[in-house]
Structure 1
Amino acid sequence: MFDDFFQRALVAGVGVALVAGPLGCFIVWRRLAYFGDTLSHAALLGVALSFLLDINITLSVFAVCLAISILLMGLQRRGSLSSDALLGLLAHSALALGLVCLAFLSWVRIDLMGFLFGDILAVSVFDIAVIYAGGAAVLAVLAVIWRPLFAATVNRELAEAEGLNPDAANAVFMLLMATVIALSMKIVGVLLITALLIIPAAAARRLASGPEQMAVYAAFIGALAVIGGLFGSLRFDTPSGPSIVVAALVLFLLGMTPVGALLRRFTTPQGGGGGAR
Protein backbone atom coordinates (compact mmCIF):
# COMPACT_ATOMS: atom_id res chain seq x y z
CA MET A 1 0.00 0.00 0.00
CA PHE A 2 1.04 3.58 -0.62
CA ASP A 3 1.77 6.08 2.12
CA ASP A 4 -0.99 8.39 3.29
CA PHE A 5 0.69 11.49 1.84
CA PHE A 6 0.80 9.86 -1.61
CA GLN A 7 -2.87 8.90 -1.43
CA ARG A 8 -3.79 12.46 -0.41
CA ALA A 9 -1.73 13.80 -3.31
CA LEU A 10 -3.61 11.56 -5.76
CA VAL A 11 -7.02 12.60 -4.43
CA ALA A 12 -6.13 16.30 -4.39
CA GLY A 13 -4.54 16.28 -7.84
CA VAL A 14 -7.47 14.49 -9.44
CA GLY A 15 -9.85 16.98 -7.81
CA VAL A 16 -7.98 19.92 -9.32
CA ALA A 17 -7.80 18.24 -12.74
CA LEU A 18 -11.55 17.62 -12.84
CA VAL A 19 -12.15 21.34 -12.39
CA ALA A 20 -9.27 22.66 -14.50
CA GLY A 21 -10.23 20.60 -17.56
CA PRO A 22 -13.59 22.24 -18.39
CA LEU A 23 -12.28 25.75 -17.64
CA GLY A 24 -9.21 25.03 -19.75
CA CYS A 25 -11.49 24.34 -22.71
CA PHE A 26 -12.70 27.94 -22.67
CA ILE A 27 -9.11 29.14 -22.42
CA VAL A 28 -8.27 27.15 -25.55
CA TRP A 29 -11.41 28.20 -27.41
CA ARG A 30 -10.91 31.88 -26.56
CA ARG A 31 -7.14 31.86 -27.08
CA LEU A 32 -6.62 33.11 -23.53
CA ALA A 33 -3.48 31.18 -22.61
CA TYR A 34 -1.69 34.41 -21.72
CA PHE A 35 -4.58 35.38 -19.43
CA GLY A 36 -4.02 32.17 -17.48
CA ASP A 37 -0.33 33.02 -17.25
CA THR A 38 -1.18 36.49 -15.99
CA LEU A 39 -3.33 35.17 -13.15
CA SER A 40 -0.83 32.46 -12.24
CA HIS A 41 1.99 35.02 -12.02
CA ALA A 42 -0.23 37.24 -9.90
CA ALA A 43 -0.65 34.33 -7.49
CA LEU A 44 2.88 34.89 -6.21
CA LEU A 45 1.92 38.41 -5.21
CA GLY A 46 -0.99 36.88 -3.31
CA VAL A 47 1.43 34.60 -1.48
CA ALA A 48 3.57 37.57 -0.46
CA LEU A 49 0.55 39.53 0.78
CA SER A 50 -0.67 36.54 2.79
CA PHE A 51 2.60 36.48 4.76
CA LEU A 52 2.70 40.25 5.06
CA LEU A 53 -0.89 40.55 6.32
CA ASP A 54 -1.00 37.17 8.10
CA ILE A 55 -4.03 35.86 6.21
CA ASN A 56 -4.89 32.58 4.53
CA ILE A 57 -2.80 31.96 1.41
CA THR A 58 -5.66 30.59 -0.69
CA LEU A 59 -7.88 33.55 0.11
CA SER A 60 -5.06 36.00 -0.55
CA VAL A 61 -4.22 34.44 -3.92
CA PHE A 62 -7.90 34.43 -4.86
CA ALA A 63 -8.28 38.11 -3.93
CA VAL A 64 -5.20 39.16 -5.91
CA CYS A 65 -6.20 37.15 -8.99
CA LEU A 66 -9.69 38.62 -8.83
CA ALA A 67 -8.26 42.14 -8.50
CA ILE A 68 -6.01 41.57 -11.52
CA SER A 69 -9.00 40.31 -13.52
CA ILE A 70 -11.06 43.39 -12.65
CA LEU A 71 -8.11 45.66 -13.46
CA LEU A 72 -7.68 43.95 -16.80
CA MET A 73 -11.35 44.44 -17.71
CA GLY A 74 -11.12 48.11 -16.76
CA LEU A 75 -7.99 48.69 -18.82
CA GLN A 76 -9.45 46.85 -21.81
CA ARG A 77 -12.47 49.14 -21.83
CA ARG A 78 -10.20 52.18 -22.00
CA GLY A 79 -8.71 50.75 -25.18
CA SER A 80 -5.35 52.49 -24.78
CA LEU A 81 -3.37 49.26 -25.22
CA SER A 82 -3.98 45.94 -26.93
CA SER A 83 -5.06 42.98 -24.81
CA ASP A 84 -1.78 41.10 -25.24
CA ALA A 85 0.20 44.17 -24.18
CA LEU A 86 -2.02 44.61 -21.11
CA LEU A 87 -1.65 40.94 -20.19
CA GLY A 88 2.12 41.12 -20.51
CA LEU A 89 2.25 44.27 -18.40
CA LEU A 90 0.08 42.83 -15.64
CA ALA A 91 1.70 39.37 -15.66
CA HIS A 92 5.28 40.51 -15.29
CA SER A 93 4.46 43.40 -12.98
CA ALA A 94 2.55 41.14 -10.60
CA LEU A 95 5.30 38.51 -10.65
CA ALA A 96 8.01 41.12 -10.01
CA LEU A 97 6.01 42.76 -7.21
CA GLY A 98 5.52 39.37 -5.60
CA LEU A 99 9.21 38.55 -5.69
CA VAL A 100 10.16 41.97 -4.34
CA CYS A 101 7.66 41.68 -1.49
CA LEU A 102 8.96 38.21 -0.63
CA ALA A 103 12.51 39.57 -0.55
CA PHE A 104 11.50 42.08 2.15
CA LEU A 105 9.99 39.35 4.33
CA SER A 106 13.37 38.39 5.77
CA TRP A 107 11.84 37.16 9.03
CA VAL A 108 9.76 34.49 7.25
CA ARG A 109 11.17 31.23 5.89
CA ILE A 110 9.54 30.75 2.49
CA ASP A 111 9.79 27.70 0.24
CA LEU A 112 9.82 29.66 -3.01
CA MET A 113 10.36 26.55 -5.15
CA GLY A 114 7.30 24.98 -3.57
CA PHE A 115 5.15 27.96 -4.52
CA LEU A 116 6.61 28.17 -8.02
CA PHE A 117 6.42 24.47 -8.88
CA GLY A 118 3.98 23.08 -6.32
CA ASP A 119 4.21 20.70 -3.39
CA ILE A 120 1.39 18.26 -3.95
CA LEU A 121 2.87 15.70 -1.57
CA ALA A 122 2.34 18.13 1.31
CA VAL A 123 -1.44 18.52 0.90
CA SER A 124 -3.53 17.88 4.01
CA VAL A 125 -7.02 16.51 4.50
CA PHE A 126 -8.22 20.10 4.96
CA ASP A 127 -6.63 21.05 1.62
CA ILE A 128 -8.51 18.20 -0.05
CA ALA A 129 -11.78 19.37 1.49
CA VAL A 130 -11.17 22.91 0.22
CA ILE A 131 -10.27 21.65 -3.26
CA TYR A 132 -13.38 19.49 -3.62
CA ALA A 133 -15.78 21.98 -2.03
CA GLY A 134 -14.38 24.84 -4.11
CA GLY A 135 -14.20 22.67 -7.21
CA ALA A 136 -17.82 21.57 -6.87
CA ALA A 137 -18.88 25.21 -6.55
CA VAL A 138 -16.84 26.18 -9.63
CA LEU A 139 -18.34 23.39 -11.75
CA ALA A 140 -21.86 24.24 -10.57
CA VAL A 141 -21.44 27.89 -11.52
CA LEU A 142 -19.82 26.93 -14.84
CA ALA A 143 -22.82 24.74 -15.64
CA VAL A 144 -25.15 27.69 -14.99
CA ILE A 145 -23.23 30.10 -17.23
CA TRP A 146 -22.22 27.51 -19.83
CA ARG A 147 -24.73 28.60 -22.49
CA PRO A 148 -24.08 32.37 -22.42
CA LEU A 149 -20.34 31.87 -22.00
CA PHE A 150 -20.13 29.43 -24.90
CA ALA A 151 -22.36 31.64 -27.07
CA ALA A 152 -20.09 34.62 -26.36
CA THR A 153 -17.09 32.48 -27.24
CA VAL A 154 -18.53 31.53 -30.63
CA ASN A 155 -20.09 34.90 -31.54
CA ARG A 156 -20.38 37.76 -29.08
CA GLU A 157 -22.78 39.81 -31.23
CA LEU A 158 -25.13 36.87 -31.62
CA ALA A 159 -25.04 36.23 -27.88
CA GLU A 160 -25.97 39.85 -27.22
CA ALA A 161 -28.78 39.65 -29.77
CA GLU A 162 -30.19 36.64 -27.93
CA GLY A 163 -30.08 38.56 -24.64
CA LEU A 164 -27.56 36.23 -23.01
CA ASN A 165 -25.49 39.01 -21.36
CA PRO A 166 -21.96 37.90 -22.35
CA ASP A 167 -20.35 40.60 -20.21
CA ALA A 168 -21.77 39.06 -17.04
CA ALA A 169 -20.73 35.58 -18.18
CA ASN A 170 -17.19 36.81 -18.89
CA ALA A 171 -16.96 38.42 -15.45
CA VAL A 172 -18.08 35.20 -13.76
CA PHE A 173 -15.61 33.23 -15.87
CA MET A 174 -12.77 35.40 -14.59
CA LEU A 175 -14.01 34.81 -11.05
CA LEU A 176 -13.93 31.06 -11.65
CA MET A 177 -10.42 31.30 -13.09
CA ALA A 178 -9.22 33.12 -9.98
CA THR A 179 -10.79 30.41 -7.82
CA VAL A 180 -9.19 27.53 -9.72
CA ILE A 181 -5.74 29.14 -9.67
CA ALA A 182 -6.02 29.67 -5.91
CA LEU A 183 -7.01 26.02 -5.49
CA SER A 184 -4.33 24.71 -7.87
CA MET A 185 -1.35 26.66 -6.57
CA LYS A 186 -0.31 24.05 -4.02
CA ILE A 187 -0.67 21.23 -6.53
CA VAL A 188 1.51 22.32 -9.45
CA GLY A 189 2.72 25.78 -8.42
CA VAL A 190 2.12 29.21 -9.90
CA LEU A 191 4.38 28.66 -12.93
CA LEU A 192 2.74 25.40 -14.02
CA ILE A 193 -0.95 26.11 -13.39
CA THR A 194 -1.54 27.30 -16.95
CA ALA A 195 -0.09 24.07 -18.31
CA LEU A 196 -2.59 22.03 -16.28
CA LEU A 197 -5.37 24.21 -17.69
CA ILE A 198 -4.27 24.17 -21.32
CA ILE A 199 -2.58 20.84 -22.13
CA PRO A 200 -5.46 18.47 -21.16
CA ALA A 201 -7.92 20.71 -23.01
CA ALA A 202 -5.66 20.80 -26.08
CA ALA A 203 -5.37 17.00 -25.99
CA ALA A 204 -9.15 16.61 -25.61
CA ARG A 205 -9.75 18.91 -28.57
CA ARG A 206 -8.34 16.30 -30.94
CA LEU A 207 -10.66 13.60 -29.62
CA ALA A 208 -13.99 15.30 -28.90
CA SER A 209 -16.86 15.86 -31.32
CA GLY A 210 -18.53 18.66 -29.36
CA PRO A 211 -17.89 21.23 -26.62
CA GLU A 212 -19.48 19.30 -23.76
CA GLN A 213 -17.64 16.13 -24.74
CA MET A 214 -14.38 18.07 -24.93
CA ALA A 215 -14.91 19.39 -21.39
CA VAL A 216 -15.45 15.86 -20.07
CA TYR A 217 -12.44 14.49 -21.94
CA ALA A 218 -10.24 17.36 -20.71
CA ALA A 219 -11.16 16.55 -17.11
CA PHE A 220 -10.46 12.85 -17.69
CA ILE A 221 -7.12 13.51 -19.41
CA GLY A 222 -6.10 15.89 -16.63
CA ALA A 223 -6.89 13.23 -14.03
CA LEU A 224 -4.83 10.67 -15.98
CA ALA A 225 -1.96 13.16 -16.14
CA VAL A 226 -2.07 13.63 -12.36
CA ILE A 227 -2.05 9.89 -11.73
CA GLY A 228 0.66 9.19 -14.30
CA GLY A 229 2.77 12.13 -13.17
CA LEU A 230 2.64 11.15 -9.50
CA PHE A 231 3.52 7.53 -10.18
CA GLY A 232 6.30 8.66 -12.51
CA SER A 233 7.57 11.01 -9.81
CA LEU A 234 7.55 8.12 -7.34
CA ARG A 235 9.32 5.81 -9.75
CA PHE A 236 12.00 8.19 -11.04
CA ASP A 237 12.33 10.51 -8.02
CA THR A 238 11.40 13.65 -9.98
CA PRO A 239 9.51 16.77 -8.82
CA SER A 240 5.79 16.02 -8.59
CA GLY A 241 4.36 19.20 -10.14
CA PRO A 242 6.53 19.20 -13.26
CA SER A 243 6.05 15.43 -13.58
CA ILE A 244 2.29 15.96 -13.81
CA VAL A 245 2.75 18.50 -16.59
CA VAL A 246 5.13 16.15 -18.44
CA ALA A 247 2.55 13.37 -18.16
CA ALA A 248 -0.07 15.71 -19.65
CA LEU A 249 2.33 16.50 -22.49
CA VAL A 250 2.85 12.78 -23.15
CA LEU A 251 -0.92 12.29 -23.39
CA PHE A 252 -1.18 15.24 -25.79
CA LEU A 253 1.57 13.82 -28.00
CA LEU A 254 -0.05 10.38 -27.84
CA GLY A 255 -3.19 11.92 -29.28
CA MET A 256 -1.20 12.96 -32.36
CA THR A 257 -0.09 9.40 -33.10
CA PRO A 258 -2.04 6.60 -34.78
CA VAL A 259 -3.34 5.72 -31.32
CA GLY A 260 -5.03 9.11 -31.20
CA ALA A 261 -6.52 8.58 -34.66
CA LEU A 262 -7.91 5.24 -33.52
CA LEU A 263 -9.44 6.82 -30.44
CA ARG A 264 -11.06 9.53 -32.55
CA ARG A 265 -12.76 6.87 -34.65
CA PHE A 266 -14.45 5.48 -31.57
CA THR A 267 -15.20 8.79 -29.84
CA THR A 268 -16.45 10.83 -32.82
CA PRO A 269 -19.88 9.85 -34.12
CA GLN A 270 -20.59 9.89 -37.84
CA GLY A 271 -21.30 13.45 -38.91
CA GLY A 272 -20.32 14.80 -35.51
CA GLY A 273 -19.42 18.44 -35.34
CA GLY A 274 -16.48 19.98 -33.63
CA GLY A 275 -18.11 22.66 -31.46
CA ALA A 276 -15.91 25.65 -30.77
CA ARG A 277 -12.78 24.16 -32.26
Structure 2
Amino acid sequence: MSFLTRGILEPFALDFLQRALLGGGLVAILCGVVGTWVVIRGMAFLGEALAHGMLPGVALATVLGLPVLVGGALSAVAMSLGIAALQRRGRLSYDTSIGLLFVAMLALGVVVISHSGSFATDATAILFGDILAIAPVDIALLAGAAVVGLVVAWAFHRPLVALALDPRIAAVLDLGPRSAQAALVGLVTLAVVASYQAVGSLLVVGLLLAPAVAAGHWTTRIPTRMALAAVLGIAAVFVGLLVSWHAATAAGASVAATAIAVAALSGALRAGISALRSRPIAAAPA
Protein backbone atom coordinates (compact mmCIF):
# COMPACT_ATOMS: atom_id res chain seq x y z
CA MET A 1 0.00 0.00 0.00
CA SER A 2 1.44 3.36 -1.05
CA PHE A 3 2.08 6.23 1.34
CA LEU A 4 -0.71 8.24 -0.31
CA THR A 5 -3.20 5.40 -0.01
CA ARG A 6 -2.30 4.84 3.64
CA GLY A 7 -2.72 8.54 4.33
CA ILE A 8 -6.22 8.46 2.88
CA LEU A 9 -7.55 5.11 4.10
CA GLU A 10 -5.83 4.42 7.41
CA PRO A 11 -7.53 7.21 9.39
CA PHE A 12 -10.93 5.75 8.53
CA ALA A 13 -9.99 2.43 10.11
CA LEU A 14 -10.80 4.14 13.40
CA ASP A 15 -14.36 3.68 14.62
CA PHE A 16 -14.97 7.31 15.58
CA LEU A 17 -13.85 8.56 12.16
CA GLN A 18 -16.08 6.01 10.46
CA ARG A 19 -19.03 7.31 12.48
CA ALA A 20 -18.02 10.89 11.71
CA LEU A 21 -17.89 10.11 7.98
CA LEU A 22 -21.23 8.29 8.01
CA GLY A 23 -22.96 10.93 10.11
CA GLY A 24 -21.44 13.76 8.09
CA GLY A 25 -22.46 12.01 4.88
CA LEU A 26 -26.08 11.81 6.02
CA VAL A 27 -25.98 15.50 6.92
CA ALA A 28 -24.50 16.27 3.49
CA ILE A 29 -27.33 14.43 1.73
CA LEU A 30 -29.98 16.32 3.68
CA CYS A 31 -28.21 19.66 3.22
CA GLY A 32 -27.73 18.99 -0.49
CA VAL A 33 -31.48 18.63 -1.00
CA VAL A 34 -32.58 21.43 1.31
CA GLY A 35 -29.70 23.74 0.42
CA THR A 36 -30.68 23.63 -3.25
CA TRP A 37 -34.05 25.17 -2.40
CA VAL A 38 -32.45 27.64 0.01
CA VAL A 39 -30.16 28.92 -2.75
CA ILE A 40 -32.93 29.02 -5.37
CA ARG A 41 -35.32 30.87 -3.05
CA GLY A 42 -32.65 33.20 -1.62
CA MET A 43 -33.27 32.10 1.97
CA ALA A 44 -29.68 32.01 3.23
CA PHE A 45 -30.44 34.52 5.98
CA LEU A 46 -33.19 32.27 7.32
CA GLY A 47 -30.75 29.36 7.54
CA GLU A 48 -28.21 31.51 9.38
CA ALA A 49 -30.88 32.84 11.75
CA LEU A 50 -32.25 29.38 12.54
CA ALA A 51 -28.73 28.11 13.20
CA HIS A 52 -28.37 30.75 15.91
CA GLY A 53 -32.03 30.57 16.86
CA MET A 54 -31.64 27.06 18.23
CA LEU A 55 -28.89 28.27 20.59
CA PRO A 56 -31.20 28.86 23.62
CA GLY A 57 -32.65 25.36 23.39
CA VAL A 58 -29.23 23.76 22.95
CA ALA A 59 -27.80 25.81 25.81
CA LEU A 60 -30.70 24.97 28.14
CA ALA A 61 -30.47 21.28 27.28
CA THR A 62 -26.71 21.37 27.93
CA VAL A 63 -27.14 23.02 31.32
CA LEU A 64 -29.93 20.61 32.33
CA GLY A 65 -28.22 17.51 30.93
CA LEU A 66 -30.95 16.84 28.36
CA PRO A 67 -30.52 15.73 24.70
CA VAL A 68 -29.20 18.77 22.87
CA LEU A 69 -30.85 17.85 19.56
CA VAL A 70 -34.26 17.92 21.21
CA GLY A 71 -33.56 21.31 22.77
CA GLY A 72 -32.22 22.69 19.51
CA ALA A 73 -35.20 21.39 17.55
CA LEU A 74 -37.73 22.92 19.95
CA SER A 75 -35.89 26.24 19.92
CA ALA A 76 -35.65 26.33 16.12
CA VAL A 77 -39.34 25.47 15.75
CA ALA A 78 -40.23 28.21 18.23
CA MET A 79 -38.20 30.69 16.21
CA SER A 80 -39.89 29.63 12.96
CA LEU A 81 -43.31 30.14 14.52
CA GLY A 82 -42.18 33.47 15.97
CA ILE A 83 -41.05 34.69 12.55
CA ALA A 84 -44.43 33.78 11.07
CA ALA A 85 -46.29 35.50 13.94
CA LEU A 86 -44.26 38.72 13.68
CA GLN A 87 -44.75 38.81 9.94
CA ARG A 88 -48.49 38.19 10.14
CA ARG A 89 -49.51 40.17 13.23
CA GLY A 90 -46.69 42.66 13.61
CA ARG A 91 -46.85 43.63 9.94
CA LEU A 92 -43.09 43.39 9.65
CA SER A 93 -41.17 42.30 6.58
CA TYR A 94 -39.79 38.77 6.45
CA ASP A 95 -36.15 39.87 6.81
CA THR A 96 -36.99 42.27 9.66
CA SER A 97 -38.81 39.53 11.57
CA ILE A 98 -35.87 37.18 11.10
CA GLY A 99 -33.36 39.84 12.17
CA LEU A 100 -35.19 40.69 15.38
CA LEU A 101 -35.60 37.10 16.51
CA PHE A 102 -32.09 36.21 15.35
CA VAL A 103 -30.50 38.68 17.79
CA ALA A 104 -32.99 37.92 20.58
CA MET A 105 -32.45 34.16 20.44
CA LEU A 106 -28.67 34.47 20.17
CA ALA A 107 -28.55 36.77 23.21
CA LEU A 108 -30.86 34.47 25.17
CA GLY A 109 -28.68 31.48 24.36
CA VAL A 110 -25.54 33.23 25.61
CA VAL A 111 -27.34 34.27 28.81
CA VAL A 112 -28.48 30.69 29.44
CA ILE A 113 -25.13 29.05 28.80
CA SER A 114 -23.32 31.63 30.93
CA HIS A 115 -24.86 29.83 33.92
CA SER A 116 -23.04 26.64 32.96
CA GLY A 117 -20.09 25.61 35.08
CA SER A 118 -18.10 24.83 31.93
CA PHE A 119 -19.07 27.89 29.91
CA ALA A 120 -16.09 27.92 27.53
CA THR A 121 -16.27 24.19 26.75
CA ASP A 122 -20.04 24.18 26.24
CA ALA A 123 -19.96 27.35 24.14
CA THR A 124 -17.25 25.89 21.89
CA ALA A 125 -19.20 22.67 21.36
CA ILE A 126 -22.40 24.57 20.59
CA LEU A 127 -20.83 27.08 18.22
CA PHE A 128 -18.44 24.74 16.37
CA GLY A 129 -19.90 21.26 16.85
CA ASP A 130 -18.07 17.98 17.46
CA ILE A 131 -18.44 15.67 14.50
CA LEU A 132 -15.90 13.26 15.99
CA ALA A 133 -18.24 12.62 18.93
CA ILE A 134 -21.10 11.31 16.77
CA ALA A 135 -22.46 8.13 18.39
CA PRO A 136 -24.46 5.25 16.85
CA VAL A 137 -27.69 6.72 18.23
CA ASP A 138 -26.86 10.03 16.53
CA ILE A 139 -26.39 8.21 13.22
CA ALA A 140 -29.83 6.65 13.61
CA LEU A 141 -31.35 10.08 14.27
CA LEU A 142 -29.52 11.59 11.29
CA ALA A 143 -30.69 8.76 9.04
CA GLY A 144 -34.26 9.38 10.17
CA ALA A 145 -33.90 13.11 9.56
CA ALA A 146 -32.49 12.48 6.08
CA VAL A 147 -35.37 10.15 5.18
CA VAL A 148 -37.97 12.63 6.46
CA GLY A 149 -36.29 15.48 4.58
CA LEU A 150 -36.18 13.52 1.31
CA VAL A 151 -39.82 12.45 1.61
CA VAL A 152 -41.04 16.00 2.35
CA ALA A 153 -38.93 17.44 -0.48
CA TRP A 154 -40.36 14.86 -2.88
CA ALA A 155 -43.95 15.42 -1.72
CA PHE A 156 -43.71 19.22 -2.12
CA HIS A 157 -41.55 19.26 -5.25
CA ARG A 158 -44.17 20.66 -7.63
CA PRO A 159 -45.46 23.34 -5.22
CA LEU A 160 -41.89 24.39 -4.42
CA VAL A 161 -41.03 24.68 -8.12
CA ALA A 162 -44.13 26.82 -8.71
CA LEU A 163 -43.33 28.91 -5.64
CA ALA A 164 -39.79 29.49 -6.90
CA LEU A 165 -41.09 30.63 -10.30
CA ASP A 166 -43.88 32.90 -9.06
CA PRO A 167 -46.03 32.63 -5.90
CA ARG A 168 -49.00 33.99 -7.87
CA ILE A 169 -48.72 31.13 -10.35
CA ALA A 170 -48.65 28.66 -7.48
CA ALA A 171 -51.81 30.23 -6.05
CA VAL A 172 -53.62 30.24 -9.42
CA LEU A 173 -52.74 26.57 -9.97
CA ASP A 174 -53.94 25.79 -6.44
CA LEU A 175 -50.57 24.35 -5.48
CA GLY A 176 -50.68 25.74 -1.96
CA PRO A 177 -47.89 28.35 -1.87
CA ARG A 178 -48.35 28.89 1.87
CA SER A 179 -48.08 25.18 2.57
CA ALA A 180 -45.02 24.97 0.32
CA GLN A 181 -43.38 27.90 2.12
CA ALA A 182 -44.14 26.30 5.50
CA ALA A 183 -42.71 23.00 4.28
CA LEU A 184 -39.55 24.73 3.10
CA VAL A 185 -39.09 26.50 6.44
CA GLY A 186 -39.60 23.12 8.11
CA LEU A 187 -36.97 21.54 5.86
CA VAL A 188 -34.47 24.29 6.64
CA THR A 189 -35.16 23.84 10.36
CA LEU A 190 -34.65 20.08 10.04
CA ALA A 191 -31.38 20.49 8.12
CA VAL A 192 -30.00 23.07 10.54
CA VAL A 193 -30.81 20.99 13.62
CA ALA A 194 -29.47 17.79 12.03
CA SER A 195 -26.23 19.54 11.04
CA TYR A 196 -25.68 21.05 14.47
CA GLN A 197 -23.42 18.36 15.93
CA ALA A 198 -21.37 18.04 12.76
CA VAL A 199 -20.38 21.68 12.30
CA GLY A 200 -22.03 23.68 15.09
CA SER A 201 -24.38 26.63 14.91
CA LEU A 202 -21.80 29.06 13.48
CA LEU A 203 -20.72 26.94 10.52
CA VAL A 204 -23.90 25.07 9.61
CA VAL A 205 -24.81 27.48 6.82
CA GLY A 206 -21.56 26.66 5.04
CA LEU A 207 -22.56 23.02 4.68
CA LEU A 208 -26.11 24.03 3.79
CA LEU A 209 -25.19 26.51 1.05
CA ALA A 210 -21.74 25.76 -0.36
CA PRO A 211 -22.41 22.37 -2.02
CA ALA A 212 -25.69 23.69 -3.48
CA VAL A 213 -23.92 26.78 -4.84
CA ALA A 214 -21.19 24.59 -6.36
CA ALA A 215 -23.75 22.28 -7.97
CA GLY A 216 -25.61 25.26 -9.41
CA HIS A 217 -22.58 26.10 -11.55
CA TRP A 218 -23.06 22.92 -13.58
CA THR A 219 -26.77 22.22 -13.91
CA THR A 220 -30.10 23.99 -13.70
CA ARG A 221 -32.23 20.85 -13.33
CA ILE A 222 -33.33 20.79 -9.71
CA PRO A 223 -33.15 16.99 -9.06
CA THR A 224 -29.72 16.79 -10.69
CA ARG A 225 -28.58 19.82 -8.75
CA MET A 226 -29.71 18.22 -5.49
CA ALA A 227 -27.90 14.97 -6.25
CA LEU A 228 -24.70 16.77 -7.25
CA ALA A 229 -24.87 18.96 -4.14
CA ALA A 230 -25.19 15.85 -1.97
CA VAL A 231 -22.18 14.22 -3.66
CA LEU A 232 -20.08 17.37 -3.29
CA GLY A 233 -21.15 17.66 0.35
CA ILE A 234 -20.08 14.07 1.05
CA ALA A 235 -16.75 14.78 -0.65
CA ALA A 236 -16.31 17.89 1.53
CA VAL A 237 -16.95 15.82 4.66
CA PHE A 238 -14.43 13.18 3.56
CA VAL A 239 -11.70 15.66 2.64
CA GLY A 240 -12.42 17.86 5.66
CA LEU A 241 -12.00 14.93 8.04
CA LEU A 242 -8.72 13.97 6.34
CA VAL A 243 -7.44 17.53 6.65
CA SER A 244 -8.46 17.60 10.29
CA TRP A 245 -6.69 14.30 10.98
CA HIS A 246 -3.39 15.15 9.30
CA ALA A 247 -3.25 18.86 10.17
CA ALA A 248 -4.64 18.51 13.71
CA THR A 249 -7.34 21.12 13.06
CA ALA A 250 -10.93 21.34 14.31
CA ALA A 251 -12.95 18.74 12.41
CA GLY A 252 -16.19 20.71 12.02
CA ALA A 253 -14.40 23.84 10.86
CA SER A 254 -12.29 21.79 8.44
CA VAL A 255 -15.42 20.28 6.90
CA ALA A 256 -17.11 23.67 6.55
CA ALA A 257 -13.96 25.26 5.09
CA THR A 258 -13.61 22.41 2.60
CA ALA A 259 -17.23 22.89 1.49
CA ILE A 260 -16.58 26.60 0.91
CA ALA A 261 -13.39 25.75 -1.00
CA VAL A 262 -15.37 23.35 -3.21
CA ALA A 263 -17.83 26.13 -4.05
CA ALA A 264 -15.00 28.57 -4.79
CA LEU A 265 -13.11 26.11 -7.00
CA SER A 266 -16.31 25.15 -8.81
CA GLY A 267 -17.08 28.80 -9.53
CA ALA A 268 -13.54 29.49 -10.74
CA LEU A 269 -13.54 26.40 -12.97
CA ARG A 270 -16.92 27.28 -14.45
CA ALA A 271 -15.82 30.86 -15.09
CA GLY A 272 -12.66 29.60 -16.79
CA ILE A 273 -14.59 27.24 -19.05
CA SER A 274 -17.06 30.00 -19.96
CA ALA A 275 -14.18 32.36 -20.78
CA LEU A 276 -12.57 29.77 -23.06
CA ARG A 277 -15.84 29.12 -24.85
CA SER A 278 -16.49 32.81 -25.41
CA ARG A 279 -13.00 33.52 -26.73
CA PRO A 280 -13.11 34.20 -30.49
CA ILE A 281 -11.32 31.66 -32.65
CA ALA A 282 -8.42 33.19 -34.53
CA ALA A 283 -8.68 32.98 -38.31
CA ALA A 284 -6.28 30.55 -39.94
CA PRO A 285 -3.49 32.19 -42.00
CA ALA A 286 -4.04 32.20 -45.76
TM-score (norm: length of structure 1)? 0.89
Higher-Rg member (1/2): 2
Q: Deviations over 1:156-200 (max 9, x none)?
A: 000011111111121122222222222111000011111111111
- The whole-number CA distance in structure 2 between the counterparts of 1:224 and 1:161 is 41
Task: Compare 145-154 and 15-24 and name the one that shifted more.
Answer: 145-154
C-alpha distance in 1 between matches for 2:90 and 2:199: 34
Partner residue of 2:160? 149
Check the 8 A contact 1:66/1:174 in 2, yes or no.
no
Is the 1:254–1:260 Cα contact (8 Å) retained in structure 2?
no
One-letter code aligned to 1:162: L
Counting matched residue pairs gives 264
Deviations 1:227-249 (A, max 9, x none): 11111111111111111111112
* Kept in 2: contact 1:152–1:159 (CA 8 A): yes
Alignment of 1:63-142 (within 5 A): 63-78=74-89, 80-106=91-117, 110-142=121-153
| In 1: Cα distance, 2:190 partner to 2:38 partner | 15
Partner AA of 1:161 in structure 2:
V
Q: 2:180 is aligned with what amino acid?
A: A
Structure 1 residue ranges without an equivalent (≥5): 264-277
The answer to whether the 8 Å contact 1:38/1:91 transfers is yes
1:178 pairs with one of 181, 185, 189: 189
Unaligned runs of 5+ in 2: 1-9, 275-286
C-alpha contact (below 8 Å) 2:113/2:122 kept by paired residues: no
Deviates more, 1:189-198 or 1:74-83: 74-83
Q: 1-side partners of 2:27 and 2:62: how far apart? A: 24
Whole-angstrom distance in 2 between the partners of 1:51 and 1:228: 30
Deviates more, 1:209-218 or 1:153-162: 209-218
Q: Distance in 2 between matches of 1:193 and 1:180?
A: 9
Kept after mapping to 1: 8 A contact 2:54/2:74: no
Letter in 2 for 1:90: L
Q: Does 1:254 align with 2:254?
A: no
Distance 2:29 2:271 in 1: 21
Give the match for residue 236 of structure 1.
247
Q: How far apart, CA to CA, are the structure 2 residues paired with 1:158 and 1:49?
A: 43
Which segment drifts farther, 79-88 or 14-23?
79-88
